[in-house]
Chains A and B, each alone.
Chain A
Amino acid sequence: MNATDTFVAIGIGIAFGFALERAGLGNARKLAGQFLLRDFTVVKVMFSAILTAMLGLYWLGRLGAIDAAFLYVPDTYLAPQAVGGLVFGAGFALAGLCPGTSCVSAATGRGDGLATIAGLFAGVLATGLFFSPLAAFYESGGHGAWTLPALFDLPRGVVVFLVVAVALSAFAIVARIEEVRDLPAEAGSRLQSGSRLLSALAVFALTLGVLAAVDGVRTGTHKPAAAVPLVRPHSGC
């Protein structure tokens, strides 16, 4: 790894940690509150981040600014990921932090963040050291870079639109739950606060999603469709 890569890795990490802390996700009470349906910060942050990145990468790929083939799609190993998810989720609720947020929690002075980090390290170390009995299960159910468009046999752009529609509906349901249960509106956690900006963001996401659906029906492919470069690549030299 050269100096530039090191600089990029640390820089991206700083931005990542900064965003998590801003959102309040260095605070285990907020994360645990999600699982007790008392604080919806986790769902809001996570799904607005997924929508932003999904729409951004889709359209940057289609416009030729990013080569979609360059993006690493995690390989699917269905059984180990479903079972690993169950074990992980139980630990997440118990700790009130996940691996990334435990680092933010510790960095902001919290002992529970430090304890979670110690537990994580021990858990990974122990599982690695006693890996042989797990190896066969770990390698089972491999599907390579399998995606939802291939699973549902739908054009990629249509799936992008469906994810936008589901996430925006979930945000609306969350707002309704907060209203009905009159949850303490800690720190702009309500949809209502800054609602003009949020409405604009939602309309923007929906527009990009609908355009993706139209684009998907037109191209009709599961895979990222070939780019239609608006920015023409430099020729020659």
Chain B
Amino acid sequence: MKYANPYVAGVGLGLVLIAAFALTGHGLGASGAFAASAAGTVRAIAPDTAAANGFFNRYVADGADPWRDWLVLEILGVFVGGFLSAALAGRLRPTVDRGAGIAVRTRLMRAAGGGALMGVGAVLARGCTSGLALSGGALLSVGSWAFMMSAFAAGFAAAPLVRRSWP
């Protein structure tokens, strides 16, 4: 089945964002779930390290459970929602999206490397495309728009270097 018209899907996404704000007071997010689960992992292995760490401490302060963080639960929902949508549209298929001129292994390395860079960037910026760009952008936050502009600028600059990743 074809994907939805992107403008219509975008309006749908905007309505989901309004619902998130109306029900919880904050918007959508994704990188925060990775930060919380990293904090949870560190706490499970070395509780003192997590409590003393300048970044992870905020997720474990006052006996908070990072695995019960709002964003961790939300991102579990994202997996379920993405799966359901693809299942209903007949789009579930084990594959690796890549260009014809590139090996699966290379593509996976680039995906992991890109993920790692995004992890670094999201920690520094305090968010990602969901929480900072989309949610903060709708509320006209200066930092959100600054992040959005520099992320797109870097994306456009970097993409030609890995053009062969794609068809």
Contact = CB atoms under 8 A, between A and B. Distances in A.
Contacts of A134: 123-124
Interface residues of A, number: 135
A194 B8 contact: yes
A96 B81 contact: no
B42 A129 contact: yes
By size class, the interface of chain B is 35 or more
A154 B46 CA distance: 50
A22 B4 contact: yes
Given A13-B80, A14-B78, A98-B128, A6 B134 contact: no
Interface string B126-150: 1111111111111111111111111
A172 interface: no
Contacts of A64: none
Nearest to A149: B140
A29 B154 contact: no
Interface in A181-206: 186-189, 191, 193-194, 197-198, 201
A112 B156 contact: no
Nearest to A83: B124
Interface string A142-153: 010111111100
Do most interface residues of chain A lie in helix, strand or loop, or is the interface mixed? helix
A5 B126 CA distance: 23
Interface string A23-37: 110111110111110
A78 B119 CA distance: 18
B50 to A, nearest CB: 9
Which has the most chain B C-beta neighbours within 10 Å: A30, A111, A137, A149? A111
Contacts of A125: 38, 41-42, 119
Do most interface residues of chain B lie in helix, strand or loop, or is the interface mixed? helix
Contact of A99 (B5, B92, B122, B154): B122
Contact of A10 (B41, B74, B146): B74
A100 B30 contact: yes
Contacts of A197: 8
Interface string A90-123: 1111111111111111111111110111111111
21 contacts: A48-B6, A48-B14, A49-B10, A52-B17, A53-B17, A81-B124, A84-B120, A85-B151, A89-B154, A90-B157, A93-B156, A99-B129, A103-B82, A107-B86, A109-B94, A116-B118, A123-B118, A127-B119, A127-B120, A134-B123, A201-B11
